[in-house]
Amino acid sequence: PNLKMNEHGGSSLTNVHCRAKGGSPGFKVAILGAAGGIGQPLSMLMKINPLVSVLHLYDVVNTPGVTSDISHMDTSAVVRGFLGQNQLEDALTGMDLVIIPAGVPRKPGMTRDDLFNINAGIVKTLCEAIAKQCPKAIVNLISNPVNSTVPIAAEVFKRAGTYDPKRLLGVTMLDVVRANTFVAEVMGLDPRDVDVPVVGGHAGITILPLLSQVKPPSSFTPKEIEYLTDRIQNGGTEVVEAKAGAGSATLSMAYAAVKFADACLRALKGEADIVQCAYVDSQVTELPFFASKVRLGRNGVEEFLPLGPLSDYERASLEKAKKELATSVEKGVSFIRK
């Protein structure tokens, strides 16, 4: 039979006319880096999300296969694939939410900052296209080092004259997911009942779990605090080492990315009281970018929640985190300005 690519990226018989659907209400979401370790499970999970009506999958390799595969899932989102840079702008046209897991991941022995040289350029290119095609979209940036790639994205948007700090969010949800899991383990609780605020940034000592503010209220011994803080800060490295060269967290990250994207979409839809931690252009500290709890609404970040009372241990850790964060922000900003 005569096969051609249909809009789902799959092949179809050309002599069969498919009737147009009524068009399901919902949001248009693009995933950039959709064929990667995070991108594939993330694309699959977003295809299941009932708030998504159109799902655009973009990558520089392998999107036809991923798109064809995912498009066979019997959920309502319409899936379209886009391959290579000359399809990037089409992938972004009219999107409400853009999720970016594009770029290289860590190998054992690497820090997130070691990824800077490659990923900075990728994020710059992708954000230039976002500024052009969907300047009002909410952007969820996953590519590492997040502490620097979010300032890079902000600079690109400023240059293009489209920067809206409320709409650019660095995804630190995996740190929260890990913190909830590890704290629940120590406390003997169901992780779904645990809420740990994680502030600062998304690398090493900049990841600062506020164990003094855990819900339900819990008290920890100094030994537990040290164990938990260390495990949460190094959760990513734990996975990198276990994967032994095959990459970093992808499945738990896809889960965390979907949890975060779903919160953004529910807020876009007008649901009230959506509060999540994210790394954003911030007024909470003197730093230009900082991760903390923010209230999300129809326009992205609507309110910064205060850091709240910190323990002595957290106050000291915050000072150390701020020093490293300032350097990472500066590195991102100067990448674009120089």
The residues carrying an active-site annotation are 202
Q: Per CB under 6 A, which of residues 174..203 are in contact with ligand NAI?
A: 174, 202
Nearest distance, CB of residue 256 and ligand NAI, angstroms: 7
**Smaller CB distance to ligand NAI: residue 42 or 333?**
42
The smaller minimum CB distance to ligand NAI, of residues 171 and 268, is found at 171
> For tokens 């350097």, what's the residue?
327
Specify the DSSP class assigned to residue 239. H
Say if residue 167 carries a ligand binding annotation: no
**Distance in Å, CB of 11 to ligand NAI, minimum:** 22
Residue 276 beta carbon to ligand NAI: minimum distance, rounded to whole angstroms: 13
Question: For residues 258-277, which are near ligand NAI according to CB under 6 A?
Answer: none
User: Are β-strands 198-200 and 207-209 bridged in parallel, bridged antiparallel, or unpaired?
Assistant: antiparallel
66: left (phi over 0), alpha (psi -120 to 50) or beta: alpha
Q: Report if residue 122 touches ligand NAI, rule: CB under 6 A.
A: yes
Range list of H helices, the chain:
39-48, 63-71, 88-92, 116-133, 146-160, 173-187, 222-233, 235-243, 251-269, 312-337
DSSP state of 143: S
DSSP-assigned states of every residue in 278-308: EEEE-SSSSSSEEEEEEEEETTEEEEEPP--
Task: State yes or no: residue 152 binds ligand NAI (CB under 6 A).
Answer: no
Interface with ligand NAI in residues 31-90 (CB under 6 A): 32-33, 35-39, 59-61
- Site track 200-239 with ligand NAI (rule: CB under 6 A), x = hit: --x-------------------------------------
Residue 275's nearest CA partner among 302, 298, 294 is 294
103 annotated as ligand-binding: no
Q: Does 234 show up as a binding residue in the annotation? A: no
Alpha carbon distance 211, 216 (integer Å): 11
* Three-state DSSP state, 82: strand
Among 71, 133, 212, 248, binds ligand NAI (CB under 6 A): 248
Does 250 interact with ligand NAI (rule: CB under 6 A)?
Answer: yes
Residues that bind ligand NAI (CB under 6 A): 32-33, 35-39, 59-61, 101-106, 115, 119, 122, 125-126, 142-144, 146, 171, 174, 202, 247-250, 253
